[in-house]
Chains A and B, each alone.
Chain A
């Protein structure tokens, strides 16, 4: 177990280093001189020189990279050029919207997908299964931001159950905050739940065909009991993979959905930063998103080990 943990941790560290190198290269090396890029074509040489100085561009590549990473490790993401405040502060304000949104959507998607997928697998080839397969086929095809607009149209414009957008801030109370995130989370979760339910179904169906299920039935377990005690845990292994992948989609989706609901999250921040060419903000937010995805995949690896004893002895998927 310790060995498995260690190798996964090592791989986590390597992934972070590799990802930071890629981001650094794309943002700071490829556009040529970031300072003149950020200031646009009409900038005076003095302004460019001043910004170069501010961004510390005169050091060597290596020292700049190390400085950037060292800063991030200490929570210092640099200074936003347009907002004139520390990027960490900007991100801190926004992440409390985006992260709860993604997590809420993940929880919702899982809560819907598991029972639906299990019922469809248990009633394979019957009406309930066809209904689930049809509904999820449709669910996969729906773009989440369009679904979000539809929700606004129905629940905000017509029924007035929710506000059409905006975020009161957590200061206004947890309930008010959750209410503002409900429609966005539903919009994000339903298409993902469709995918997850289908994966759950097919994985469970495959597991139910395994020899050890027949063994369990030969022991006298009913079909239901054999499913619950022997199939579910084994069927979770591919499902976990998809949950890990989904988190990265949800995070990306959250960025888009924020636009529909005018939520002050990371998505709004990064799109503003792109139009304002604020590279410092862009690279920090991207790094943060990638960090989140990598950490979630690490958590998925740990979950594998919890589910599957074969992995605990240092094996690999």
Chain B
């Protein structure tokens, strides 16, 4: 049940984001001061902002930004973290394991916001830097999940059997370990995806993410804050969008976990 709701919400936002490439109700790049702060209605389904931009269009394009940042950040985390975690597990207790895990601890000491601050201080704010900041923070997360899952698999006899068959650590990691931790990684991927949406919103809210004129949910909130007395709607809608998107991803993650967890599955069968 929850996986259906989750997938539906995720699909809704994904669809809106994709649709925004070809069509939005209004062009978000065009300012129309004459129609500023229009209430929701037939013309502007969700109203317009202080520059007369259509809120629905802004939300659609904002979804694009959020999803792009979060997906790329998860991609970075997986692409770097999973091989590191697998390598650490394959050489458990060695200096390599030690270096990888200490490096992870070090990154954990820099919350993604602090990484973003560091990057921004040097390179200036941009969506790319937000992706980097969130992505770097994802690396140790995936490394840990991969290492933890791999370590328990390395103790199993089928790995010993593969070693008896003359297979090396890299081949065993690819053939035996990775397919068996794939479900863990998928579930963690959806969780990090939703955290990425939240982090992107936070970063662009404080001006460290996507820069104007690119619409993003966090920026919309920052802009709306000054008008919270006059037009609270502008602050509420992007927040609701964020909540629904994150909720959808989390529900999907939980659903996937139940679906993919062999323990749960066995209990059902």
Knowing that A15-B106, A149-B235, A260-B225 touch, tell me 16 more A-B residue pairs with CB under 8 angstroms: A22-B106, A141-B194, A142-B239, A142-B243, A146-B238, A147-B239, A149-B225, A150-B235, A153-B228, A153-B235, A245-B108, A248-B108, A255-B113, A255-B206, A256-B113, A286-B118
Q: Is the CB of A248 within 8 A of B229?
A: no
Q: Which residues of A contact B228 (CB under 8 A)?
A: 149, 152-153, 157
Closest 4 CB pairs of A and B: A146-B239, A141-B246, A252-B113, A252-B111
Take A26-B122, A143-B202, A271-B207 as given contacts and tell me if A289 and B106 are in contact as well, using a CB distance cutoff of 8 Å.
no
A-contact 0/1 string along B96-110, CB 8 Å cutoff: 000000100110111
Residue of B with least CB distance to A296: B109
CA distance A274 to B238 in the complex (A): 26
Q: Which residues of B contact A289 (CB under 8 A)?
A: 111, 114
Q: Is the CB of B106 within 8 A of A146?
A: no
B-contact 0/1 string along A238-278, CB 8 Å cutoff: 00000001001101110110011000000100110110010
Q: Is the CB of A143 within 8 A of B198?
A: yes
Instruction: Please tell me the size bucket of the interface on B.
Output: 35 or more
A-contact 0/1 string along B236-262, CB 8 Å cutoff: 101100111011001100000000000
Instruction: Sample 9 A-B pairs with CB under 8 A, ordered by A number.
Output: A141-B244, A141-B246, A146-B242, A149-B235, A150-B236, A271-B206, A290-B109, A290-B110, A297-B108
Q: Say whether chain B's binding surface is mostly helix, strand, loop, or mixed.
A: helix
Say if the beta carbon of B120 comes within 8 Å of chain A: yes
B-contact 0/1 string along A112-147, CB 8 Å cutoff: 000000000000000000000000011011111111
Say if the beta carbon of B112 comes within 8 Å of chain A: yes
Residues of A in contact (CB 8 Å), total 49
Smallest CB–CB gap between A238 and chain B, Å?
A: 12
CA distance A89 to B158 in the complex (A): 61
Measured CB to CB, the residues of B under 8 A from A are: 102, 105-106, 108-114, 117-122, 194, 198, 201-202, 205-207, 221, 224-225, 228-229, 232, 235-236, 238-239, 242-244, 246-247, 250-251
Residue of B with least CB distance to A254: B113
Q: Which residues of B contact A141 (CB under 8 A)?
A: 194, 198, 242-244, 246-247, 250
Q: Which residues of A contact B111 (CB under 8 A)?
A: 248-249, 251-252, 289, 293
Smallest CB–CB gap between A199 and chain B, Å?
A: 13
Smallest CB–CB gap between A63 and chain B, Å?
A: 22
Say if the beta carbon of A305 comes within 8 Å of chain B: no
